[in-house]
Structure 1
């Protein structure tokens, strides 16, 4: 029975890792549908290459920083023959699962810096972010490193709760992206001489919608399989994820005045926000949290683009940065027993943890991208940007056969 239990956990976590890995295809197609056609190939290549780089640096450096475990032992030891490694390679599939979370950081950032970022500097940023910056904060929250969680629990009655990464993953990625976008500057032609925004329509709403659907489906692995075992799995997490998702869709539909881009991103906004408290909220609370997140994304995107003149192409700061921060705080509101939740959460701890995560991420973003800007530069040349990243970087377009007929 013990072997069967471990085997079931291995399959459970592996399935979660596969679902979250599939979400990276969702990131790719969401970007493909949003950017102009001349940058579609670059979007696809960036997400895949960033995942590969993330896996390597997280394996050799990041996982050790977060959890103090290295893989420099024999395969027999890795499979459960040594202390610190669970039987049947359970620890290895947990690494795979957590790797898909870590790789979400550059995938999130990719949407904000699209259409004008050099390729090699972004790869270099991925090394620094996934190898050091992300696992440092991940270890603080999810492994209790440096006593931050113990201090919050002793001071305010509960540690910072972020069950599936509203702050650890999404807010971190979103606030790093904000720093990168500010250092990078707006796309050429995005604003006229007087500073008024010039509309750049998405290239393909069907591709955008496919990306959203892939992310929504994979998100149930992202949230539910965070439990780490069959015994700890909870249907409450699943229903809360569902309710937050539909809440985000409906709010974005209304506030966004039927705009299809807002509707499909509204689903993601709800899912981002519910991650932190999906294991303790009541489903009605999750619906409200998702609805607020959907509205927050729409208004945040409009303010970001039109008033602040921040050319965040996919709106990753309002989607992941703002909605992720809302999710961290919302867990301290709707997770309480007074609002039908399971309790065991402190609003003060949630606020401190959320603000700390956002501030740390913004600082890390300015440091990493600031150093790269000074050392090697971030932007494509005006000629390359006009040509498009596909031809400028990869020497091929999204429809090469059509190019031959011109």
Structure 2
């Protein structure tokens, strides 16, 4: 029975890893459908190459920083042990958590699209996945640096983030904000008075919608499989994910006045927000969390673009950064037994844990992107931006014209 349980756990977390891996296709098509046509190839290539670099960075460095298991260097035989014990559970656990880590550069990619050079971004990807993301991941999910034990002692409960509203999404969103600020806006986006000069509509609503659907379906692996073992699986997590997702859709539909770009990001806003509390809030609470997240994304995206002059192409800071923060704070509200939750949460712990995640992401993001900018230069030239990243970097259009004979 013990061997059977172990094998089932391996299969369970492997299926989760595959679902979250497929979400990277969602990131790719969401970006392809949003950017201008002349940058579609670049969007596809970035997500693919970021995944490759992220895997290597997390295997050799990041996983060890977060969990003290340095598989890549086989310290004290850790890799050999993982290969031979518990049906390779530690290896598929790495695979699952690596797909989370690789979401960080995939999130950032959408924010800095259309004006970032190729190899400098890959270097930034390596540094963030090797050091910045796992630093906070270890604090929140492995008890590193004593943050969780201190919060539990001081406020009665640790910081609760079941599937990563802060650990993954907010960290990715706030790193993206730092990268956007360092990189600057696209050439011609704003005039000398700071007024928005060019508005770029999505290049392909069908691709954007495809990306949103792939992400939405894969998210159930992201959330449910965060239990990491068969015995921890909860139908509540799946139900709450569904309710938050539809809450985001409904809010984005009405607040965004039927705009297809907002509507297809609505479910993602709800799903970002529910990650943290999907195991402790009620389905009614999840619906409210999703409704607030959908409205928050629409309003924050519009306001930050116009008033803060933050040229965030896909709106990843509002979507992942701000909705992730809302989701973590919402745990302290709707996770309480007074509002139908299962309890065991502390509002103060949620606030302090959230602030810690935002601080790590912002400080780490600025350090990485300023360093890379100084070393290699992050920004494409005005001429290359005008020509488009597809031709200037990859030497090919997304849809090359047919040869005429």
Q: What is aligned with 2:149?
A: 150
Q: Is the 8 A contact 1:281 1:340 kept in 2?
A: yes
Q: Which residue of 2 aligns with 1:77?
A: 81
Number of the residue aligned with 2:88: 89
How does 1:213-252 map onto structure 2 within 5 Å? 213-252=213-252
Structure 2 residue aligned with 1:312: 312
**1:80 Cα shift?**
3.6
Deviations 1:46-99 (A, max 9, x none): 001000110011001000010001221387522344xxxxx1011111100000
The residue aligned with 1:368 is 368
Equivalence for 1:106? 105
Question: CA shift at 1:150, angstroms?
Answer: 0.4
CA offset digits 1:95-153 (Å, max 9, x no partner)? 00000000000000000000000011100001110001110110000000010100000
Give CA-to-partner distance per residue, 1:312-331, whole Å, 9 cap, x none: 00000000000001011111
Deviation at 1:399, TM superposition (A): 1.0
C-alpha contact 1:190 1:200 (8 A) present in aligned 2: no
Q: Shift of the alpha carbon at 1:230? A: 1.0
CA-to-partner distance for each residue in 1:331-383, whole Å, 9 max, x for gaps?
A: 11110111100100000000000111112211111111111112211111111
Distance 1:391 1:367, change over 3 A: same
The reply to whether residue 22 of structure 1 matches residue 16 of structure 2 is no
Hey, what's the Cα distance between the residues in 2 that align with 1:169 and 1:405? 48
Query: 2:50 touches 2:102 (CA, 8 Å); kept in 1?
Result: yes
Distance in 2, Cα, partners of 1:333 & 1:377: 44
Structure 1: distance between partners of 2:117 and 2:235: 43
* SS of alignment partner, residue 398 of structure 1: coil
Answer whether contact 1:252 1:298 (CA < 8 A) is retained: yes
Alignment partner, residue 66 of structure 1:
66
Would you say how many aligned residue pairs link Structure 1 and Structure 2? 400
Shift of 1:268: 0.2
Q: How does 1:206-355 map to 2 (within 5 A)?
A: 206-355=206-355
* Residues 47 and 110, structure 1, Cα contact 8 Å, conserved in 2: yes
Q: Deviations over 1:20-70 (max 9, x none)?
A: 000000000000000011100100010010001100110010000100012
Aligned equivalents of 2:221 and 2:315: distance in 1? 24
Instruction: Name the SS of the counterpart of 2:231 in structure 1.
Output: coil
Query: Alpha-carbon deviation of 1:189?
Result: 2.0
Distance in 2 between residues matched to 1:104 and 1:218, nearest whole Å: 12
What do residues 148-172 of structure 1 show as CA deviations (whole Å, max 9, x unaligned)? 1000000000000000000000000
**Alpha-carbon contact 1:139-1:145 (below 8 Å) kept:** yes
How far off its partner does 1:310 sit?
Answer: 0.8
Listed as ranges, the gaps of 5+ residues in structure 1 are 82-86
Aligned to 1:115: 114
Distance 2:39 2:320 in 1: 22
In structure 1, the residue matched to 2:188 is 189
The two structures, once aligned, show a CA RMSD in angstroms of 1.2
Matched residue of 1:231: which SS?
Answer: helix
* Compared CA separation, residues 368 and 12, structure 1 to 2 (3 A): same
In the TM superposition, what are the counterparts of 1:162-177 in structure 2 within 5 Å? Answer: 162-177=161-176
Q: Distance in 2 between matches of 1:279 and 1:221?
A: 14
Determine helix, strand or coil for the equivalent of 2:191: coil
Q: Give the superposition deviation at 1:192.
A: 3.0
Scaled by the length of structure 2, the TM-score of the pair is 0.97
Contact kept, 8 Å, 1:114 with 1:313, in 2: the verdict is: yes
- Please identify runs of 4+ aligned residues in structure 1 that moved more than 3 A: 73-76, 403-406
Distance in 2 between residues matched to 1:404 and 1:64, nearest whole Å: 52
